[in-house]
């Protein structure tokens, strides 16, 4: 065994930018290519915006201008501006900032002085400029290295800070900005900061009524059981209603930060809600029945928040301030008065709420026996282990945040496809679930079918979403089907399953379509894998001799050796995006309900479009995110 040296020579001290670039996951979570809202490029944008939002929250600047294009990202706020003597230090010296003094930034998001330094270090170009009282100072960087720095310059511009950055394409490989993810991020800032105006690429994001506006937009055209309840107190705001969907739909925020993984504040809300409802109706309703189909938004502001990762997606604080009450007690006290008072004053809403709870109770009892029998059959047949090839991350349930974010399960059709992916996958973070035959068209069916149908029952167990999406086993759920008619049909049936019974899995950005190559073009020297007719023609032009062209008809035809490249660093995923104003009932009925003349015309019309694209490959468009939207 080779001896591992451990001397003075092995001890190294890295510069701040070297450490960030060596261990980016510690600062921004996973890198990614922009296909997920949790990917690093959106964290970079958030880190810059957080500083502008903090200025607004403290009463400085009511407008933020944001531009994103091929040249990079520009964010301009109109706050006080960085103190001119510290412009370079603030973006290039680790643990440098004003937020260590809780008196100045009492309930801020970024408290550790890292955010903009990470953006600087992970950008191939970065510029900062600050304007204060008629004077400006700016500096430019490349990969965190200072390249140019101005002296103080006179200016007539308004006070504030300008940040320009272009993410390092070598670090964020093949990245692209998905407009829907950026817009959702900006809407959240607008909802949580009533009166703030954000201008982004020609659009304006503004909210007057905070979380009430947020929930109205989230519910869109979806039918709710009663008008939205909107409650506000000191450092706390809650909006809630019940819908007709399955599961819970919660949106949580801390100090303006969207805590997508929840945390102590969301747990406290869910717990307090159950207590208040039971007390008000004087009945011990099951907690699941109370929370079933709820749509809620919870925003709190706490002093010196403690998050469970640098990306701040889950709150870990137990108290609202170091010397303040517990968050659970504080939340319970607020809801016990505010919600209980509201229910007493609004009997129609109260009646509608209890009616929905009783409906959930009946539905739960109806499927309990079906659920029990289905689980017994699955256990007796020991089919769980046969269907799911799990990843090592879930064998020990340990690992850094970026590893959890990388967990992926591929839902494949047939043994040949699942076999190729299983042999090629990263066993640490990638799992494979194999479907048997075509899934059932579950449109219009009740949730009983999830347990009566073996494939659906086993799939929900594999994903660990039987009780709550909070326990979702994998961060990315990827539908991996062949690029033929049967594969497209299976994809559509799986989309129907998730949208019908687990729409929040889609809303929260966990569902994807695997984009696999259609062609292999090669000669004796080079091989190209092409995802479109256009890429195939480009590859042919690059080869010197007569190429060998293979058209992949199914995933099983791609060897494990080749597949390894398609599902590792070069993986191409198309996120399934559910626009907020989508009426799911209408969409599912249109595509999966009874045949209608309208649907026939739609299919024929789009078939002509597809044929036109095939006939003129030079005009073929780039693959866009899959949108589930109104027709």
Residue 457: CATH number of its domain: 3.40.50.670
Count up the domains in the chain and report the number: 3
For Cα atoms 441, 447, 448, give the angle at the middle one, nearest 5 degrees. 95
**Does any domain span residue 1?**
no
Q: Which of 334, 364, 394 is the last residue of a domain?
A: 364
Residues 142 and 25 in one domain: yes
- Can you tell me the distance from the alpha carbon of 353 to that of 360, in angstroms, rounded to the nearest whole number? 11
* Mean pLDDT, residues 605-614 taken together: 50
The answer to whether the CB of 113 falls within 8 A of the CB of 94 is yes
Residues 267 and 147 in one domain: no
* Mean pLDDT, residues 614-621 taken together: 37
**Does any domain span residue 143?**
yes
**Does any domain span residue 546?**
no
Residues 29 and 70 in one domain: yes
Residues 195 and 216 in one domain: no
Q: Which of 315, 336, 364 is the last residue of a domain?
A: 364
* Mean pLDDT, residues 111-137 taken together: 88
Residues 510 and 586 in one domain: yes
**Does any domain span residue 371?**
no
- Can you tell me the distance from the alpha carbon of 5 to that of 11, in angstroms, rounded to the nearest whole number? 11
CATH of the domain at 146: 3.30.565.10
- Residue 552's pLDDT is 84
Residues 309 and 259 in one domain: yes
**Does any domain span residue 265?**
yes
pLDDT digits (tens, 9 = 90+) for 221-271: 667 899 999 999 989 999 999 988 888 888 999 988 888 888 899 999 999
**Does any domain span residue 307?**
yes
Residues 321 and 424 in one domain: no
Residues 83 and 172 in one domain: yes
- Residue 58's pLDDT is 85
Instruction: Of 327, 341, 324, give the one whose Cα is nearest residue 298.
Output: 327
Residues 220 and 189 in one domain: no
* Cα distances (angstroms) measured from residue 19 to each of 23, 94, 331: 6, 11, 39
* Tokens of residue 295, six digits: 């749509």
Instruction: Of 422, 449, 442, 447, give the one whose Cα is nearest residue 433.
Output: 422
Poorest-confidence range of 91-105, 160-174, 342-356, 536-550?
91-105
Residues 347 and 224 in one domain: yes
Q: Which of 150, 172, 206 is the last residue of a domain?
A: 206
- Residue 383's pLDDT is 52
Domain interval for residue 226: 211-364
- Can you tell me the distance from the alpha carbon of 588 to that of 578, in angstroms, rounded to the nearest whole number? 12
Residues 235 and 352 in one domain: yes
* Tokens of residue 443, six digits: 């449109």
Residues 177 and 300 in one domain: no
**Does any domain span residue 231?**
yes
């Amino acid at each position: 065994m080779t001896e591992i040296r451990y001397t003075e020579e092995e001890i190294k001290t890295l510069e701040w930018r070297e450490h960030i670039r060596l261990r980016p996951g510690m600062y921004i979570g996973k890198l990614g290519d922009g296909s997920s809202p949790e990917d690093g490029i959106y964290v970079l944008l958030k880190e810059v915006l957080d500083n502008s939002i903090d200025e607004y929250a403290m009463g400085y600047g009511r407008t933020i201008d944001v531009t994103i294009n091929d040249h990079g990202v520009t964010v301009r706020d109109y706050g006080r501006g960085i103190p001119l003597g510290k412009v370079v230090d603030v973006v290039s010296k680790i643990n440098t900032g004003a937020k260590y003094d809780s008196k100045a930034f009492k309930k801020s998001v970024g408290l550790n002085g890292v955010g903009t330094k990470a953006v600087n270090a992970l950008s191939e170009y970065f510029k900062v400029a600050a304007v204060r009282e008629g004077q400006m100072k700016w500096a430019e960087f490349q990969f965190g290295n200072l390249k140019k720095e101005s002296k103080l310059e006179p200016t007539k511009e308004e006070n504030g800070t300008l940040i320009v950055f272009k993410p390092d394409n070598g670090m964020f490989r093949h990245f692209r900005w998905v407009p829907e993810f950026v817009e959702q991020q900006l809407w959240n800032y607008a909802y949580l900061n009533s009166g703030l105006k954000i201008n982004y690429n020609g659009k304006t994001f503004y909210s007057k009524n905070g979380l009430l506006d947020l929930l109205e937009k989230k519910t869109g055209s979806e039918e709710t059981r009663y008008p939205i309840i909107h409650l506000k107190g000191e450092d706390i705001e809650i909006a809630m209603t019940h819908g007709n969907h399955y599961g819970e739909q919660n949106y949580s925020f801390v100090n303006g930060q969207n805590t997508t993984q929840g945390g102590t504040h969301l747990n406290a809300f869910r717990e307090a809600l159950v207590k208040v409802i039971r007390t008000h109706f004087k009945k011990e309703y099951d907690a699941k029945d109370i929370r079933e189909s709820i749509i809620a938004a919870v925003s709190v502001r706490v002093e010196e928040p403690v998050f469970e990762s640098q990306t701040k997606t889950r709150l870990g604080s137990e108290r609202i301030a170091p010397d303040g009450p517990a968050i659970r007690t504080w939340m319970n006290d607020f809801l016990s008065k505010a919600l209980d008072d509201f229910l007493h004053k609004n009997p129609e809403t109260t009646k509608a709420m209890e009616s929905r709870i009783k409906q959930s109770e009946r539905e739960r009892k109806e499927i309990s026996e079906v659920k029990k029998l289905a689980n017994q059959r699955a256990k007796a047949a020991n089919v769980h282990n046969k269907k799911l090839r799990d990843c090592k991350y879930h064998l020990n349930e340990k690992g850094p945040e970026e590893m959890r974010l990388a967990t992926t399960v591929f839902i494949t059709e047939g043994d040949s496809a699942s076999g190729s992916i299983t042999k090629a996958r990263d066993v640490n973070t990638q799992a494979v679930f194999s479907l048997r035959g075509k899934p059932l068209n579950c449109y219009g069916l009740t949730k009983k079918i999830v347990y009566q149908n073996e494939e659906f029952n086993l799939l929900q167990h594999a994903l660990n979403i039987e009780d709550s999406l909070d326990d979702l086993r994998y961060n990315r759920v990827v539908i991996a089907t062949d690029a033929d008619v049967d594969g497209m049909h299976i994809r559509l049936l799986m989309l129907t399953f998730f949208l019908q019974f687990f729409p929040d899995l889609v809303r929260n950005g966990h569902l994807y379509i695997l984009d696999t190559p259609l062609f292999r073009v090669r000669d004796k020297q080079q091989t190209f894998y092409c995802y479109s007719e256009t890429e195939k023609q480009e590859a042919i032009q690059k080869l010197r001799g007569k190429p060998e062209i293979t058209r992949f008809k199914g995933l099983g035809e791609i060897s494990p050796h080749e597949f390894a490249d398609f599902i590792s660093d070069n993986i191409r995923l198309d996120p399934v995006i559910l626009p907020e104003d989508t009426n799911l009932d209408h969409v599912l009925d249109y595509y999966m309900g009874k045949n209608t003349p309208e649907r026939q015309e739609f299919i024929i019309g789009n078939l002509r479009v597809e044929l036109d694209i095939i006939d003129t490959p030079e005009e073929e468009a780039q693959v866009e995110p899959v949108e589930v939207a109104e027709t």
